Amino acid sequence: MDDHDEPVSMSAETPIGTLIERRLSRRGALQGLAAAGVAALAASPARAAGPSSFTFAEVPHVNDATHHVPEAYEVQVLIRWGDPVLPGAPAYDPRSQSAASQRLQFGYNNDFLGLHPLPMGSPAGDRFLMVVNHEYTNSNLMLPGIGEGREARLRADEAQVGIEMAAHGGSVIEIARDGGRWKVVEGSRYARRIDATTPMRIAGPAAGTARMKTSADPDGTRVLGMFNNCAGGETPWGTWLTCEENFYVYFAGEQDKMPDQALARRYALGRAPAYAWGKYVDRFDLAREPNEPNRFGWIVEIDPYDPQGTPVKRTALGRFAHEGCHHAVARDGRVVCYMGDDSRMEYVYKFVTARPWNPNDRAANRDLLDDGTLYAARFDADGTVTWLPLVHGQGPLTAENGFAGQADVVIHARRAADLLKATPMDRPEDVEANRVNGRVYIALTNNASRKPEQVDAANPRAKNENGHIIEIAPAGGDHAATTGRWDILLAAGDPSRDPGTKYHPETSANGWLSSPDNITFDNKGRLWIATDSGEVRGIADGVYACDLDGPGRALTRQFFAAPKGAEVCGPTLTPDNRTLFLSIQHPGEGKGSTFETPSTRWPDFRDGAPPRPSVIAITKKDGGTIGS
């Protein structure tokens, strides 16, 4: 989502852009972590031929009404906005929508995708529960007669607000592969819709504290719904971690009337809302419920195998604009969750559980994420990354600085990281550990707001419109370690026009990318990158792939190009590497595009039909593995 506010970080620490340019000026980015002495973590065998291990015919840079894949591949639309999820769901009718029908149908702007094998715990085969985030709504594209632009959301009436709220949240669907094709299993007992009104439990250090209490919930332990769920992740015990990102845009009110104005400013509350929800629903009006925003911006844990289970907001993992929550397992069995705060000049975090997970007793892991240590990252110019603990009573996180307990630390996680002098980043989105090479990768999408005074001669990218990817090697290969080494995998942009880009020298004219957003790894440990450039470079968003070791390191190649106006999200490969699932979000977005006159009618291409966010499955025509 593009509702990423202007910088509100109070930190005076050196921005990551400055550190990048210091390091890039000292030695080429393609030396990477090998030059820092850590490439031995994942030595690669010699390639048989050519610099890249990928053999697909590269897709050209385009920007048109439909999607594009290499000739040897095909695309199947698995499920679209408005398709049935639950029994009794009416057929999709874009001109006869209601909140009641939308609660039974697939939501809007699908983002994160996760695969949970069926039966639970079985070796991954041909049946999965697919979990899907529904991030936000483009009212101008989904609602007839509401007009154009993002401001169309502010024109929604009460009934339309109900539809929007029902279209947020998430879905659980059962999918099965038959003869190389995928289908949604109708009538699955696991099918579920979660929206902005679904009852949830609040757990962890913030639960039951004063800042979490409202008139509807005087105990501060129950909340209705989740929204703006962007990327996500999963736990080793098979639950879904879904991430609330830009929650502040849903609340209406005046910042100078908030009881804690410093907290409101740090989380951009009380600025112009992006939705009309506060007109019709009291809890989205800051004047009526000033604590309600404190109940959003969390990681939500959901058990996809229990359709009646109550989702839980895990407050120990901190409150910010969450983008992704991917796990790794430390050497001693503790679980480590990596997270990004997807706003300009914000931070990278990780959470380490207090005790190991139990692979033999799933119930024993039920509340594992309520107890542990939250850290923010500091990146130093010598290539060291240090994880700074956000723990009440340690360092500046004391009552004298406004932190009465750990609840204040997690609710004010951004301010806590400010005081610890973490490194401000260029919109950290996905942060994910590679289980093949043991390293961690951070997709930093962009930061055009970085000002000239924040850079020097060694940092020429004052306006980082294209982003970059950072690579971390944890000390000793242990994800619980509090130090490590970092370097730059690539610096994105068009080499013909953007200064400071860094790629493999054999990257083609179609292989450069802008604004890396979501990432994933195939079963060989190779990197797949989905972009969210907003077409700022005149090309469609897409998916790119590259090796992370060997002669093809950082040689990005374009595998997929999205339809006009769309962002590509949630790249997920099946364990056998034979299917790549993608979320295609907000197709048709752009200036002047409306429900009646969209810039594309993808994927249906029927007269009068609006574009529909959808999940697609990409397979190779000969049934082979994706990419090679």
How many whole angstroms separate alpha carbon 185 and alpha carbon 177? 10
How many whole angstroms separate alpha carbon 34 and alpha carbon 548? 11
Local mean pLDDT, 10-residue blocks, the chain (628 residues): 58 58 48 35 39 97 97 98 98 97 98 97 92 98 93 96 98 96 97 98 98 98 98 98 97 89 93 94 96 98 98 98 97 98 93 98 97 96 94 98 97 98 93 98 87 44 85 97 94 92 95 97 98 87 98 97 98 98 97 96 97 98 96
Please report, to the nearest 10 degrees, the dihedral formed by the alpha carbons of residues 279, 94, 569, 603 taken in order: -160
Supply the pLDDT for residue 123.
87
Query: Within a 13 Å sphere around the CA of 25, how many CA atoms are in the beta-carbon half?
Result: 14
pLDDT in tens, 25-71: 544 433 434 333 333 233 333 333 469 999 999 999 999 999 999 99
Strands (DSSP E) along 390-491, which ranges? 425-426, 428-433, 440-444, 468-474, 483-491
> Helix, strand, or coil here: 6?
coil
Please report, to the nearest 10 degrees, the dihedral formed by the alpha carbons of residues 476, 477, 481, 484 taken in order: 80
How many whole angstroms separate alpha carbon 156 and alpha carbon 3? 18
> Helix, strand, or coil here: 143?
coil
The amino acid that residue 230 corresponds to is C
| E strand or H helix that includes residue 385 | strand 384-389
Distances (CA, A) of 531 to 58, 361, 442, 544: 16, 38, 13, 8
pLDDT in tens, 452-493: 665 522 233 668 899 999 999 999 999 999 999 999 999 999
How many whole angstroms separate alpha carbon 38 and alpha carbon 41? 6
Distances (CA, A) of 298 to 200, 227, 345, 407, 411: 12, 10, 19, 13, 9
Q: Are strands 312-314 and 199-203 parallel, antiparallel or unpaired?
A: parallel
404 DSSP 8-state letter: -
Q: Give the count of beta carbons closer than 10 Å to the beta carbon of residue 514.
A: 25
How many whole angstroms separate alpha carbon 623 and alpha carbon 405? 55
* Residue extents of the structural domains in the chain: 16-136+145-186+196-620
Cβ neighbours for 469, distance < 8 A, ≥ 6 positions apart: 441, 442, 443, 444, 488, 489, 490, 492, 516, 519, 529
pLDDT in tens, 339-358: 999 998 899 999 999 999 99
Burial of 150 (0-12, 13-18, 19+ CB in 10 A): middle
Distances (CA, A) of 599 to 135, 166, 569, 592, 594: 21, 25, 20, 8, 8
How many whole angstroms separate alpha carbon 22 and alpha carbon 39? 21
How many whole angstroms separate alpha carbon 78 and alpha carbon 603? 11
How many whole angstroms separate alpha carbon 5 and alpha carbon 171? 28
Q: Nearest-5° angle of CA 97, CA 614, CA 343?
A: 100
191 DSSP 8-state letter: -
Cα–chain center distance at 558: 21
